[in-house]
Amino acid sequence: MKYLHRISILYLALPFVLFLFGWVRLTIAIPLAIILLFALWRVVNQSPVSNPQFSNPPITIYHLLVIGAWALLSGVGGYAFQNWDHHWRNAVFHDLINFDFPVYYSQPESGPVKMLVYYVGYWLPAARIGKLLGWQAANFALFLWTLLGLLLVTYHLASALKTSPVKATLLLIFFSGLDALGVLLLPKDYPTLLPPITHLEIWSGTQLQYSSFTTQLFWVFNQAVPAWLVISVIARSEATKQSKANLEIASGTPSCVRCREEQERPRNDVRSEFILLWALCFFFAPLAAVGLLPYVLIEFIKDTDFKSPFKNLRWEVLLSAAIILLLSTFYFSSNTSAQQRGLQSIPFADFLAFFLLEGGILWLALASVKWRDPRWVVTGLLLLLIPFIQLGSGRDFVMRASIAPLFYLMLMTGETVFNKTTPRLLLVTCYLLLALGALTSLYEINRSVYRTFDYYFLQPEDCSCDVPSSEPVTHLAPPGIPEKEHPDSLTADAIPTLKFMTDELSQNFIANVRRTLYYRYIAPR
């Protein structure tokens, strides 16, 4: 993976370029695309290609098998069981393929202009293929796109943690809070520990959930994968910079000309690149970007020479980041469904149990080795504060804004367990907490395996599965027990299109944009 960094930047940027030429008027899109492409050329051209001291881990068949199995069982592409959230994600994907860009559901001369307003970026490359080759090809392209994203994430993660890609991948797959203990100590009718296919994440109630990374992939892949990639690129850059600094200290002089050149890079351009990466994260997953922002500010400040803070900043890169951020904001703000903002009250006992079991115990355990690390401080503060913030009518903010602090908690845990100098007591504690947390991911994986096996091997041949209804679908029943969802079908395709949907949850995807700045001045007509 010689060009790992370059491929990652292009992976994140391509969907926004496609968005420009579908959701923005050409008179605006063309000059903005020129600026963006020039900035990307500068970032890619000046990014390090290779470094003999810090080479990327080699590709192994074991890594590919683990990542491939994880991606397959996620349901992306429709080859394995899809959880309830896929009803909505498949509907978005269908409409991106079947409608012109941007997706208008109604555009009368007067009255509401109904439009798809959602985080559509992740689907755009596969949707373009679907417009040419159909639904099955689009799903295969989406699966490959997800597989590539996971490979990039795990390679960056392995490099940041200085371990093998397989170990880094297993850490990502099985890292989770102690949901099983929550089910055991605070029992409810659902979830239960048996059968081992229940959705343990909801043990604390409807408004509180910090999702494991396997749950994120299996339920909200379109937000999770790009957010992970942005964080892992930043983490790898910082880890490489720190390793080089340590090498310089140990040797007394730069080990080679390339090292001296690379040593100058952080203050010159990494700050601008981090801002660009954060803006791209906002385009894919704005709530995840909110949780990521404090970490980006930490790295920005660390890499700033306050004697000349503006020296060698890449203004074209910062301008591109501003373009991405502003256009995304104008587009997303066209949907007013998330205008409900405020603080929610949580009984102290419930909050304390949630915080401790969903990462707090592990965070406290790391204090002895990480308390000087600003990432550790910010992670604890975010995990404490996020549950009290209400955005919209659901629990999306809690689940998605926590992606970044949970990822950094995993990073710090990996740095600890893969460090040979870690005290034995702390090492045993971390492994015990990781083993208990892994049950959450195992239950998610077990449910997918169980339902997929049932569909392919146990259902009768005359089963009338996957027969779409000819009537327009206007409502979707609330989620029930996940392992019993759409029992005769592998895929969650209850919504052929969002065009006719009128229930409350559909308003997260459909908006009346007539009076918005985006529709009046930016959107194609």
Whether the Cβ atoms of residue 481 and residue 213 lie closer than 8 Å to each other: no
Residue entry with tokens 């909050």: 351
Find the range with the poorest average confidence among 88-92, 221-225, 252-256, 457-461: 252-256
Residue 264 binned pLDDT confidence (cut-offs 50, 70, 90)? very low
> DSSP E strands: which ranges in 41-198?
104-106, 114-116
State the average pLDDT over residues 156-162. Answer: 94
State the average pLDDT over residues 364-392. Answer: 94
Residue 437, amino acid: G
pLDDT of residue 429: 97
Find, among 56, 1, 42, the residue nearest to 270 by Cα: 42
pLDDT of residue 241: 72
Quote the mean pLDDT of the chain: 90
Helix axes 286-302, 271-284, angle to 10 degrees: 170
Residue 262 binned pLDDT confidence (cut-offs 50, 70, 90)? very low
Is residue 467 predicted with pLDDT exceeding 60?
A: no
State the average pLDDT over residues 72-84. Answer: 97
Find, among 231, 223, 229, the residue nearest to 508 by Cα: 223
pLDDT of residue 247: 54
Is residue 261 predicted with pLDDT exceeding 70?
A: no
Is residue 400 predicted with pLDDT exceeding 80?
A: yes
Q: What is d(CA 12, CA 195) in angstroms, rounded to the nearest whole number?
A: 39
Find the range with the poorest average confidence among 102-116, 122-136, 144-158, 453-467: 453-467
Whether the Cβ atoms of residue 43 and residue 321 lie closer than 8 Å to each other: no
Is residue 30 predicted with pLDDT exceeding 60?
A: yes
pLDDT of residue 191: 95
State the average pLDDT over residues 187-191. Answer: 93
Whether the Cβ atoms of residue 330 and residue 282 lie closer than 8 Å to each other: no
- Three-state secondary-structure class, residue 182: helix
Task: Read off the pLDDT of residues 313-363 as tens digits, 9 standing for 90 and up.
Answer: 888 999 999 999 999 999 999 988 766 677 888 999 999 999 999 999 999
State the average pLDDT over residues 69-96. Answer: 97
Whether the Cβ atoms of residue 114 and residue 511 lie closer than 8 Å to each other: yes
Largest separation between any pair of C-alpha atoms in the chain = 75
Find the range with the poorest average confidence among 69-73, 108-112, 257-261, 449-453: 257-261
pLDDT of residue 57: 63
Residue 254, amino acid: P
State the average pLDDT over residues 369-378. Answer: 96
Task: Read off the pLDDT of residues 228-238 as tens digits, 9 standing for 90 and up.
Answer: 999 999 999 88
pLDDT of residue 310: 76
Residue 23, amino acid: W
pLDDT of residue 390: 84
Residue 366 binned pLDDT confidence (cut-offs 50, 70, 90)? very high
pLDDT of residue 306: 79
Is residue 132 predicted with pLDDT exceeding 90?
A: yes
Percent of the chain residues past pLDDT 90, beyond the cut? 74
The two tokens of residue 384 are 């404490």
Query: What residues contact 389, with CB distance under 8 A and at least 6 apart?
Result: 343, 344, 397, 398, 401
